[in-house]
Amino acid sequence: MKKVGVAILGLGVVGGGTYNILKEKKNDFKKNQGLDVVVEAVLEKNLDRALSLGIDKSIIASSIEEIVTNPAVDIVVEVMGGVEPAKTFVLKALYSGKSVVTSNKELFAKHWSELEAEAKKMNVGLFFEASCVGGVPIIRTLIDSMQGNKILSLKGIINGTTNYILTKMSTAGYSYEEALKEAQKLGYAEFNPTADVEGFDATYKLSILSSLAFNTKIPIESIHREGITNITKEDIAFAKELGYNIKLLGVGKNTDKGIEVRVHPALVPLDSPLASVSDSFNAVSIVGDNVGEIMLYGRGAGALPTGSAIVSDIIFAGTHQTYYYAPFENNEKGAKETKFVRDFNTQYFIKLSVKDITGVLSKISGIFAKNDVSIEEAKQVAEKDGVVPMVIVTHSGPESAVNKAIEKIKTVDGVVSVDSILRIEK
C-alpha cells in the first residue's frame, strides 16, 4: 500500500475541515484508493486550535523549514489565504520537491505562472481544485472532461457571500446594509467584506476558470469588475416585477471578436437555473460546442465542502504519476495575441428618477434612438413628491452607445438622477 505524507499549513475553517476529512476517511482511502494518507505535520500558531482538533503535539511544526525538510511529507496543503506568507511557503515547498495543494484563489490568480514554473522545474504537482467554487469539482471538469469541446462560454455565481446578501435582499426585503450585517453574523462575510462585495474574490476565480476554459492566460487586470454595494432593494423589487433576479455573476465568453470576461451584478431571468441559486450556494454554466450546456451546482465555501475539494486533490496526487501543467503560455501578463472584448454587447436595466412633467420619456427615448439603442420596455411608478421612478430595459446593444446616451440623458431637463445601470444576462 502506498503511503502519502501530508502537511497542512493553517488550521482555520478550511484547514480544520480538511484534517477532519482525512482522519475520518482514512480507512476508506486504504480500501478504495490503496493509499495510506498520513498527516505528518501541521503549521499552526494557535496551539489550542490544533490540540482541539485532536492533533498530536509532536507533529505541530513551529516553522515552514520543519515542514519542507521533513522527508515523510510528500504533499503540502496551503489553506492560509492571502498572498504572503503563503506564496513564500508554497515556493519553499515546491523547491523542496513536494507537491502542493492550495485553496488560495488570490495567490493562484496573481502568481500562478511563478508557482507553476517552480513546480515544473522540480517535477512536482500543483493542485488547485479548492480555489474555485468550494466543493464543486469545476477545475477537474474543465481539465479532464471537456477535451472534446471548444468552450464557448462560462457563466455563474461564484461567490457565496454576495449571493447570500442578494438572496436576503430579494426574499426578506433587507437593505444591503441589513443583509451584510446578517452575513457577517453568520460567518459568511468577513469583518472587512471588500474582497467579496466589491467582486475581487469572484475576479480571482474567473481569472483561473476562464484561463482553463479558453486555453489562454486571463490576467485579473483584463477582467471588468463591479461589486454589489450600490444595489438597492428597490432595484431588486423592480427587477422582480420585470421577471428577473439580481445576481453577482462571473461571465466569460469566447467570441469571434475576442474573449469577454467580466464580474458584475446582473439581472437574470426568473426561469433561468441561476436565478434560483440561493443563500451561499454557487452554480456555474459551461457551454461547449459539442456537449452544449452543463451546470455545476453546490456549496461554494465552508469547512467540509472546500475540504472535500482539497482531499480530492490529495488523492489525485497520490494516485497519479504525472502532473497537469497549463497547456497555454502561462506568464503573468498572458499571451500577446489574446484579444479581449472591452465594449460589451448586452441588454441593460436603467433606473432613473424624473420629474412628473410632460415629454420627459419622449426626450429620453429620442436620445437612445440617436445613439442606436432601442428600448424593449419602459415602466413608470407612482409619483412621490413630484418625482417619478422610471425603469427602462433596452435591447442588446454596445455598452459604449448606452454610456454615451446616459451622459446626454443626465442633462435633460426633468431628469433628476440616473440611479442604476445594470446588465441583463439571459
User: Scanning the structure block, which residue is given the C-alpha cell 466543493?
Assistant: 135
Phi, psi of 351 (to 5 degrees): -115, 125
Which run of H or of E encompasses 389? strand 387-394
Write down the pLDDT at residue 187. 84
Q: Does the pLDDT at position 358 exceed 90?
A: no
Structural domain boundaries, residue 380: 345-424
> Per the domain annotation, does 321 fall within a domain?
no
> For residues 100, 209, 243 and 404, what is the CA-based torsion angle, rounded to 10 degrees?
130
> Per the domain annotation, does 327 fall within a domain?
no
Is the same domain home to 105 and 213?
no
The H-assigned helical ranges of 186-227 are: 194-197, 200-214
> Per the domain annotation, does 338 fall within a domain?
no
Is the same domain home to 283 and 351?
no
Give the end of a domain, one of 273, 299, 325. Answer: 299
Q: For the domain that residue 188 is a member of, what is the CATH number?
A: 3.30.360.10
Is the same domain home to 289 and 357?
no
Question: What's the domain count of the chain?
Answer: 3
Is the same domain home to 77 and 162?
no
Write down the pLDDT at residue 333. 80
> Per the domain annotation, does 202 fall within a domain?
yes
Is the same domain home to 155 and 281?
yes
Give the end of a domain, one of 105, 131, 157. Answer: 131
For residue 247, give the nearest of 187, 299, 202, 184 by alpha carbon. Answer: 202
**45 classed as catalytic:** no
The grid coordinates listed for 402 are 448606452
What is the mean predicted confidence (pLDDT) over 201-227? 97
For residue 277, give the nearest of 141, 138, 285 by alpha carbon. Answer: 285
Is the same domain home to 126 and 142?
no
pLDDT range class, residue 356, cuts 50, 70, 90: confident
For residue 90, give the nearest of 54, 59, 127, 40 by alpha carbon. Answer: 127
> Per the domain annotation, does 317 fall within a domain?
no
Give the end of a domain, one of 111, 131, 151. Answer: 131
Is the same domain home to 178 and 291?
yes
Q: For the domain that residue 63 is a member of, what is the CATH number?
A: 3.40.50.720
pLDDT in tens, 137-156: 999 999 999 999 999 999 99
Is the same domain home to 121 and 236?
no
> Per the domain annotation, does 112 fall within a domain?
yes
pLDDT in tens, 63-108: 999 999 999 999 999 999 999 999 999 999 999 999 999 999 999 9
pLDDT in tens, 152-171: 999 999 999 999 999 999 99
**Candidates 105, 155, 205, 247; catalytic one:** 205
What is the mean predicted confidence (pLDDT) over 251-275? 97
What is the mean predicted confidence (pLDDT) over 284-299? 96
Torsion sign across C-alpha atoms 200, 204, 206, 210 = positive
**Strand duo 397-398 + 60-61: pairing:** unpaired
Is the same domain home to 258 and 371?
no
The H-assigned helical ranges of 323-410 are: 360-370, 399-409
Write down the pLDDT at residue 351. 96
Distance CA 169, CA 384 (A): 23
> Per the domain annotation, does 188 fall within a domain?
yes
For residue 195, give the nearest of 228, 154, 240 by alpha carbon. Answer: 228
pLDDT in tens, 33-64: 999 999 999 999 999 999 999 999 999 999 99
Is the same domain home to 27 and 155?
no
What is the mean predicted confidence (pLDDT) over 301-312? 93
> Per the domain annotation, does 144 fall within a domain?
yes
Write down the pLDDT at residue 29. 97
Is the same domain home to 375 and 416?
yes
Is the same domain home to 69 and 178?
no
Q: For the domain that residue 411 is a member of, what is the CATH number?
A: 3.30.70.260
Cβ atoms within 10 A of the Cβ of 133, count? 32
Chain centroid, CA 207 distance in Å: 9
pLDDT range class, residue 385, cuts 50, 70, 90: confident
